[in-house]
Amino acid sequence: MSNSQAIEKESEPRNAPNVVATCSSKNQEVILATAIMLVADFQGNYYPGCALLDSGSQSNFISQSFAAALGIQQVKTSTSVICIGNSNTSAKYSVRTTTKSRFGNFEEELELLVLKRIAYDLPTSSIHKKFNIPNEVNLADKHFYKCRGIELLIGASIFYNTIIEGQIKHGSNLPVLQNTEFGWIVSRTITSGKSREIEINSITTITHCSIAALNNLEDLISSFWRIEELPIERSKTFEEEACEQNYTNHVKRQSDGRFIVSLPFFTDPTITLGDSKEHAIKRLRSLEQRFSRQPELKQAYTEFLNEYLENGEMEQATSLHEPNLTYYLPHHPVIKESSSSTRLRVVFDASSKTSTDNSLNNVLMIGPTFQRDIVTILLSFRIPIYVFTADKKQMYR
């Protein structure tokens, strides 16, 4: 599916993924062309997305999270994506939307296949950029040297329509700048030799791919070892940066010490979210029927919700007037027999669809992860002689 890059045969890993998006050897890295383009949401508003420009792809792709954040209607499809080595994955949904350049009037309506993940973070590691770029050059992706996620892949269907006159060569083993409708893209193999003005942060000998389908035992074993590798720090996506900015602008603390912050909506929820009351009432009636058959469950459920009232985490609605933006959260019990502290807990379903086929979760941005990953936590247990574990009761209350 994707355009592979040539590397020396002896430096290829034996079980490398099938579709090459970028590759790095002991002292060099291939930078693939990326561009920040504007993508229309379901209302026609435009939001920036990081796209990989791939002339070797016959289709265009969008990540599942980015498509959901835009609120674009997803149409069911059954498309097999064939990769190098005849491996394959499948796309179950597709979307239609309009993309346009941040510079000029270029725009194109595209059909994109939805994949959970398009590519590994590109480039494989952040690069210290120390080469001169003319002031009049508008880069398609001014952060092309930072390792970050890919939200779109633009294939050959429009790739060559975007190429326009203009090319700048910095010299041997330095990037080439090519002018496009999206701005100037940067690509080519660069080296990290001492005589060069570019330094690679990390030295690796792996080949990354745009799409990797794990469909045999050999690939699964290879994936297991990749999980054991130390994670590479990556830059935040546009969505993560916007979510963090929303928190910074709206967080406040009450006199009792509680923090309050507005929900990080990606689009206008008064338009995106439809009616949710009718579906929530149906779920409640179904729950009441279950209570009539299981009185013990009803008692435990009532006691749990009474804790919300006693702790001030829930209050009875005294007004029949509904505000402009209302989303009813259906709830249901989850029973964990092995729990010593809380056997039953109530789960509120923010994925419940409204009349517009959107849920609360669909229209909220996903922020960056700040807590340490589980591997780091487990490894830290090997350092001290004595360790303590504890369970924080009702942490997310």
Q: Is the model's pLDDT at 229 over the cut of 80?
A: no
For the chain, domain boundaries:
9-231, 267-313+324-363
Do 239 and 66 meet the contact criterion of CB atoms below 8 Å apart?
A: yes
- Distance from first CA to last CA of the chain, Å, rounded? 47
For the segment 258-264, the average pLDDT, to the nearest whole number, is 88
Q: Is the model's pLDDT at 61 over the cut of 60?
A: yes
What is the percent of the chain with per-residue pLDDT over 70, rounded to a whole number? 74
Concatenate the DSSP letters of all residues of 228-245 into one string. TSPPPP-PPPHHHHHHHH
State how far the Cα of 209 lies from the Cα of 222, in Å rounded to an integer.
14
Q: Is the model's pLDDT at 124 over the cut of 70?
A: no
- 341 band by pLDDT with thresholds 50, 70 and 90: low
| CATH code, residues 9-231 | 2.40.70.10
Q: Is the model's pLDDT at 280 over the cut of 90?
A: yes
Q: Is the model's pLDDT at 100 over the cut of 60?
A: yes
Report pLDDT for 283: 94
Report pLDDT for 6: 31
State how far the Cα of 310 lies from the Cα of 258, in Å rounded to an integer.
16
